[in-house]
Structure 1
Amino acid sequence: MGDVTFRAATTADIETLHALVESAYRGASAKVGWTHEADLLDGQRTDADELSDIINDKEQTITLAFIDDELAGCVNVSNRGDGRGYLGMLTVDPQRQAGGLGRQLIEVAEQGAASGFGARVMEMTVIAQRKELIAYYERRGYVLTSETRPFPLHDPRFGDAKRDDLYFVVMEKKLS
């Protein structure tokens, strides 16, 4: 896999970060990997404004992963308060998926949430129809809760849904 280095994203990273996230979640390029949403959603996954807002928010971080100085992945962690962190936007370049980088990003995110925000529990949401991704997170110690949340079906900032039954399941993991 090469040498992996991690660092916090800055506004100077937005263009390449945006390209990475879109390539992994949407369109034909995403279908090279196994974690895409391209069969469920068209349109954008995020935009430069959202990325800038996250980067400039002291209650959130985006950690970038570089392999041999090339951006290969990222993960967003948010402080939800009351000892809860939120893991989102886990992204690995579709050409590099299934090589262990996603697992490493999850570990970095969990450590960052615990040390940076005092999180004792990490939560995430996953589109319910993405059974293989839910199983992946279960192998990483996350468990399904009974909670579900609506998917913003009619908000183009989150993509154009190809079906009208999308919703999120909530998963969580106790951090040590």
Structure 2
Amino acid sequence: MNFDRAGTGDIPRLHALVESAYRGESARRGWTHEADLLGGQRTDAKALREIIEADSQVILLAKNVDAITGCVQLSHVGDGLAYLGLLTVDPDLQASGLGKELLVRAEQFVRDHWQARAMEMTVIRQRSDLIAYYERRGYARTGEHRPFPHGDERFGRPKSPELEFAVLRKPV
């Protein structure tokens, strides 16, 4: 397995991976999907391009030969804080340890490149199994909640008006 930064040439395969892991029937092969909570898209090629081209963001890829098997988005927030998002593992490879490896690589990247002292993320509050996964890896609930962007179909179509994000943080 190789780990590298995403480039714009990776966008079509990266987009396909993210959608397959978060939405629709293919996502149901893994345990991290949001298909029961959200319909529509998880992201789009334009948003991925904006992340890749931004100075304060990066997407790290896990590749097996030329296949993209996982990714994680990192953002430099500043003041010693980085943000982790879009942690994605191919549904057929979930429970293989790749998600854990991506987290380790992400934490190392933000320490080495941005001198971050903490990593923050948001997880849909209703995803208690996913929150528990992150808690086992040292992330803790901060008690803060943030609104889900209801009405903005770039982030999907919620199947419940009660969706909101829980904020988790870990010293890195």
TM range (shorter): over 0.9
Q: 1:39 aligns with which of 29, 32, 36?
A: 36
Measured in 2, the distance between the counterparts of 1:151 and 1:98 equals 27
The aligned residue for residue 8 of structure 2 is: 11
Report how far residue 69 of structure 1 moved. 3.5
Alignment of 1:67-146 (within 5 A): 67-146=64-143
Of 152, 157, 163, the residue aligned with 2:154 is 157
Q: Measure, in 1, the Cα distance between the counterparts of 2:56 and 2:88.
A: 20
How far off is 1:93 after superposition? 0.2
* Greater than 2 Å deviation, 4+ residue runs: none
CA–CA separation in structure 2 for the residues paired with 1:25 and 1:68 = 23
CA distance in 1, matches of 2:9, 2:23: 23
Q: CA RMSD in A?
A: 0.6
Number of equivalent positions: 172
Q: Which amino acid aligns with 1:77?
A: L
SS in 1 for 2:74: strand
Q: Which residue pairs with 1:169 in the alignment?
A: 166
Equivalent position to 1:55, from 52, 55, 68:
52
Look up the SS of the partner of 2:96 in the other structure. Answer: coil
Higher deviation after alignment, 59-68 or 40-49: 59-68
TM-score (norm 1): 0.96
Cα deviation, 1:8-55, whole Å, max 9, x if unaligned, reads: 000000000000000000000000000000000000000000000000
* Fraction of identical pairs, as percent: 58
One-letter amino acid matched to 2:59: I
